[in-house]
Structure 1
């Protein structure tokens, strides 16, 4: 099962990613947690000690140079477009307890409309391998877009989940992600409403996103904010929050089983 989670910064996508990683591991699955957001926080959300010290792949200049046959720090020139990546999960992913490993992608500095550079080529090939070749659960916490995905991987994604909160900027981000996903043929789109205070908040999201399939709604929970401030896994959430999170995880699991 391959799950990609996106959304505007601050909406709670990393919290959802961390919970799904832990939930699938608790079900006995081997889980690869991928932090593909340049503002890397998934390690902290999982409660990994020293998460901020884990180097991202884009900072591993020697590795990038070796795999792409490029020169570190150089611009232009030739480099390999199909570098070897199948061994990287074992080489660079950090064990995080039983059945969970964490891999931090890192950001690529972009100029103009994009970047065709050794770093981005390595990441694209790695994501392609993770989605198409790895026989395990992959949960990918992404930035507000689908930059790491391509046409070759879109059909293999079990679910692209956009996390939204009651607010027009969050809704606009969800609509933009939907357009980007459509461009690459990614059709398994879902939404999770977060920070829901009352029925009015839920109605607001449902009215502005009528064409989206909602996996569930998560209540506003102070414990999630506290966990984020402490760099810990949000284990002490309310029973309502936990029930809602588990319901979302079970839906994803049952949908994947039905697809198989």
Structure 2
């Protein structure tokens, strides 16, 4: 199964991504967790020691230069558009224990849009390989957009999950992600409501996103908020939170079963 998790910053994408990675690993699956949000901390959420010291692939200048046959730090010029990436999961992924490995993509922060540079070419080719060629569960913690995905990989994405919280900005981000998904042909879009304080919050999200497929709702949990602020693992979540996350994972798996 190939899963991408998106949504506005701070809505709980990383918490859900980490939980899904752990849940599928507990089912005996080999899991590759991908931190594809330049501002995320999936490594912390998975309990990786010194996760903040991990160098993102987008900053591995020598590796990028070797694979794309480009000059480190240069702009323009010629470089390979189809660099070798099939060995990178084994070379750069960090073991997290319990059948999970972590790869930190990083971002390409340059002016303008549609950047075609050695870093972006390497990352997109890598994502293409991870989604189309790897025989394991891949969970990608994305930024608010779906920059790393493209038309070549869209058909192989089993689920694009948008995490939302009760609020207009979160709703607007979900609508933008839906449009981006349609543009590249992703049909399997689901929604998870997070930070739900009451039935009224859940009803608000369902009312604002009519026709969307909700996998479930996660209650507001101080343990998750505090862990997110501290950059640590949210181990002491409440029973209702854990039950809600488990139900979401099971619902997702059920949605992917052949009818």
Tell me how far 1:200 sits from its aligned partner: 1.1
CA contact (8 A) 1:47 1:231 kept: no
Count matched residues. Answer: 259
CA contact (8 A) 2:14 2:45 kept: yes
Give distance in 2, aligned partners of 1:207 and 1:38.
31
Give distance in 1, aligned partners of 2:230 and 2:172.
30
Partner SS state of residue 226, structure 1: helix
Partner SS state of residue 241, structure 2: helix
Query: Which residue does 1:246 correspond to in 2?
Result: 246
Tell me how far 1:96 sits from its aligned partner: 0.6
Query: Which residue does 2:231 correspond to in 1?
Result: 231
Query: Which residue does 2:113 correspond to in 1?
Result: 113
Query: Which residue does 1:99 correspond to in 2?
Result: 99
What are the superposed Cα offsets for residues 141-189 of structure 1, whole Å, 9 maximum, x if unpaired? 0000111100110010010000000000000000000000000000000
Query: Which residue does 1:179 correspond to in 2?
Result: 179
Tell me how far 1:131 sits from its aligned partner: 0.3
TM-score, length-normalised on structure 1? 0.98
Give distance in 2, aligned partners of 1:211 and 1:78.
46
Give distance in 2, aligned partners of 1:49 and 1:84.
29
Give distance in 2, aligned partners of 1:185 and 1:176.
14
Query: Which residue does 2:15 correspond to in 1?
Result: 15
What are the superposed Cα offsets for residues 2-41 of structure 1, whole Å, 9 maximum, x if unpaired? 0000000000010000000111111111000000001131
Give distance in 1, aligned partners of 2:168 and 2:230.
29
Tell me how far 1:233 sits from its aligned partner: 1.9
Partner SS state of residue 63, structure 2: helix
Query: Which residue does 1:3 correspond to in 2?
Result: 3
Partner SS state of residue 216, structure 1: strand
CA contact (8 A) 2:191 2:214 kept: yes
List 4+ stretches of structure 1 deviating above 6 A: none
Give distance in 2, aligned partners of 1:231 and 1:89.
24
Give distance in 1, aligned partners of 2:169 and 2:109.
24
What is the Cα-based RMSD across aligned positions, in Å? 0.9
Query: Which residue does 2:159 correspond to in 1?
Result: 159
Partner SS state of residue 15, structure 2: helix
For residues 30-69 of structure 1, the aligned pairs below 5 Å read 30-69=30-69
TM-score, length-normalised on structure 2? 0.98
Query: Which residue does 1:148 correspond to in 2?
Result: 148
Give distance in 1, aligned partners of 2:184 and 2:240.
36
Tell me how far 1:225 sits from its aligned partner: 1.3
Provide structure 1 residue ranges, at least 5 long, that are not aligned to the other structure: none
CA contact (8 A) 1:3 1:160 kept: yes
